[in-house]
Amino acid sequence: MSDESRPSPAQPPLAPAGAPVAAVIPAAGRGVRLGPGAPKALRALNGTPMLIHAVRALAASRHVSLVIVVAPPDGAAEVKSLLDAHELPGSSTDFLVVPGGESRQESVRLGLAALPPEYGVVLVHDAARPLVPVDTVDAVIEAVRDGAPAVVPALPPADTVKEVEPAAEPGAPEPVVATPERARLRAVQTPQGFDRATLLRAHETVTDDVTDDAGMVEKLGLPVVTVPGHEEAFKVTRPLDLVLAEAVLARRRLNDGF
Ligand SMILES: Nc1ccn([C@@H]2O[C@H](COP(=O)(O)OP(=O)(O)OP(=O)(O)O)[C@@H](O)[C@H]2O)c(=O)n1
Ligand SMILES: C[C@](O)(CO)[C@H](O)COP(=O)(O)O
């Protein structure tokens, strides 16, 4: 039998079951769309900084053993103090804080530069998604450990989506170019989960502007899969999102004393 016709041995999973999991939390954005104030990740939700909610959400997974927080460029010391002041009772998760960069992509890259070698699975989670449920975090981890190089939590859009020719002036009418078939569209959230080598390669090689890390893996030509997202994993972007986040926290307090 020639080498070519011999059946190839099964590929080992990229990130085998039990591979240690680290999470990078980009938290260095200004939050321009939220309006004037402190950097978005440091603004309070129910009296606690949004970033602390996000860190707790990731550390709630028993699989996550390291969280790397990417702080506003001049705010690393403040973020370290915040983490010290908001201990996570019963958690064995370790923390690192590094200063971030000009763009989300650069902030994630700076976080990855601090990643110790033993972590085979890496999650990237927006500080601006402070209320993601632990089940969503665990579903992403499970899919990566099952062999997917890149995993994104996703939800079907509630609205019909149009492709337009963007107007030069904000608010000017925009010609509609197409109506993509809604059943094939998904709105993606974080945490996005990756086999470590895949994510590092994506950040080393892809230089185009992208809005999420999975998009970089797509540019490498590698498969990205979705798992079900969650409505509470929404991104706090505009002022109304703060109202919604406070309402979700109030409902959790009523339901389970969180
Ligand atoms: N230079 C940047 C820009 C963004 N982020 C992080 O990326 C996540 C998603 O970005 P987004 O919600 O767009 O945050 P901002 O960039 O802060 O928002 P805006 O565009 O309104 O300023 C946030 O957790 C944000 O802190 C980051 O770490 N570094
Ligand atoms: C990564 C992300 O949250 C996935 O939906 C999103 O792409 C971030 O985009 P933003 O424009 O930086 O908020």
Residues of the chain with pLDDT under 70: 1-13, 257-258
Domain boundaries, the chain: 14-150+188-256
| pTM as predicted | 0.94
Q: What is the ipTM of this complex?
A: 0.98
The residue whose CA is least distant from atom 4 of ligand 2 is 189
Distance (angstroms) between ligand 1 centre and the Cα of 12 equals 36
CATH class of the domain at 14-150+188-256: alpha beta
Distance (angstroms) between ligand 2 centre and the Cα of 234 equals 10
The pLDDT assigned to 18 comes to 82
The pLDDT assigned to 61 comes to 96
**Distance of alpha carbon 24 from its chain centroid, rounded?**
8
Count of other CB atoms within 10 angstroms of residue 219: 14
Please give the C-alpha separations between residue 103 and each of 70, 82, 112, 128, 177, in angstroms, as whole numbers.
12, 23, 14, 14, 29
Q: Give the Cα separation of 23 and 21 in Å (integer).
A: 7
Query: In this structure, are residues 236 and 50 in contact, taking their beta carbons and an 8 Å threshold?
Result: yes
Q: CA-CA-CA-CA torsion for 117, 121, 127, 132, nearest 10 degrees?
A: -150
Q: Ligand 2 pocket test: pick from 185, 212, 230 the residue with the most ligand atoms within 8 Å of its Cβ.
A: 212
Q: Which residues lie with the beta carbon below 6 Å from any ligand 1 atom?
A: 26-33, 40-41, 70, 100-104, 107, 126-128, 235, 237
